[in-house]
Amino acid sequence: EVQLVESGGGLVQPGGSLRLSCAASGFTVSSNYMSWVRQAPGKGLEWVSVIYSGGSTYYADSVKGRFTISRHNSKNTLYLQMNSLRAEDTAVYYCARGEDGYNYSAFDIWGQGTMVTVSS
Amino acid sequence: SSELTQDPAVSVALGQTVRITCQGDSLRSYYASWYQQKPGQAPVLVIYGKNNRPSGIPDRFSGSSSGNTASLTITGAQAEDEADYYCNSRDSSGNHLNWVFGGGTKLTVL
């Protein structure tokens, strides 16, 4: 079964750090591009970051310089290292598998999400 | 970065047809993908590409596109279709390597 399972969320103080993990099964994370998408309480979806199969990484302006996306191929796991956390980073964080086709790009598999709360 | 604009809320009578729209400059370059999200659950892809449904998505869901506007149509809406719906595409304003989501449309089935 194709599945993504996130972990690592929790309560952290402003300025602190947290590392999220996303374990994949049923496919290889290094063969697809993988993204993190977040959703603040009561708000919409916000794309955060992507890592392509070749290893290139890109970030939303809101997290650039603070967050780092990576993967461990042998563990088939995606990560999001979050530093210098702010209250506005409070959200449910989802990992998602990306798929490209003719003039489209879609996130076809999503994890269940992990909650990150930044508060003192 | 570019934006995708959706109506915040739409309602439909049970069994009737409803169209949810999404507008943005990126949609002139890319087809929108559409996601359904029910309370407390992760988003689920319902439409991608020109008009493709993943396995398991009912055929009452369909997609279309014209100019800078993409539409998700539910023909014969069911009670279980009540959810938030989000559109998404690559962001064409920069390097096309980022993504953008619409603000979401809350669908109420009356």
For residue A103, give how far its alpha carbon lies from the nearest alpha carbon of chain B (Å).
Answer: 5
pLDDT of residue B95: 78
- The per-residue pLDDT for range A71-119, each reduced to its tens digit, is 999 999 999 999 999 999 999 999 999 999 888 899 999 999 999 999 9
**Neighboring chain A residues of B90 at a CB cutoff of 8 Å:** 105
Residues in chain B: 110
3-state secondary structure A38-87: EECCCCCEEEEEEECCCCCEEECCCCCCCEEEEEECCCCEEEEEECCCCH
Q: Please judge whether B101 and A56 are an interchain contact, meaning their C-beta atoms are less than 8 angstroms apart.
A: no
- The per-residue pLDDT for range A27-69, each reduced to its tens digit, is 999 998 999 999 999 999 999 999 999 999 999 999 999 999 9
How far CA A97 is from CA of A58, B106, B110, in Å, comes to: 15, 24, 34
For residue A71, give how far its alpha carbon lies from the nearest alpha carbon of chain B (Å).
Answer: 18
pLDDT of residue A54: 93
Q: Where residue B52 falls among pLDDT bands split at 50, 70, 90?
A: very high
CB A39 within 8 A of CB A92: yes
**Neighboring chain A residues of B35 at a CB cutoff of 8 Å:** 45, 107
Q: Please judge whether A46 and B101 are an interchain contact, meaning their C-beta atoms are less than 8 angstroms apart.
A: yes
More reliable by pLDDT, A100 or B75: B75
CB A116 within 8 A of CB A91: yes
* pLDDT tops 80 at residue B94: no
Q: Please judge whether A104 and B50 are an interchain contact, meaning their C-beta atoms are less than 8 angstroms apart.
A: yes
- DSSP character at residue A111: -
How far CA A120 is from CA of A12, A42, A85, B4, B25, in Å, comes to: 8, 21, 11, 34, 40
For residue A105, give how far its alpha carbon lies from the nearest alpha carbon of chain B (Å).
Answer: 6
Q: Where residue B2 falls among pLDDT bands split at 50, 70, 90?
A: confident
- β-pair partners for B88: B33, B101
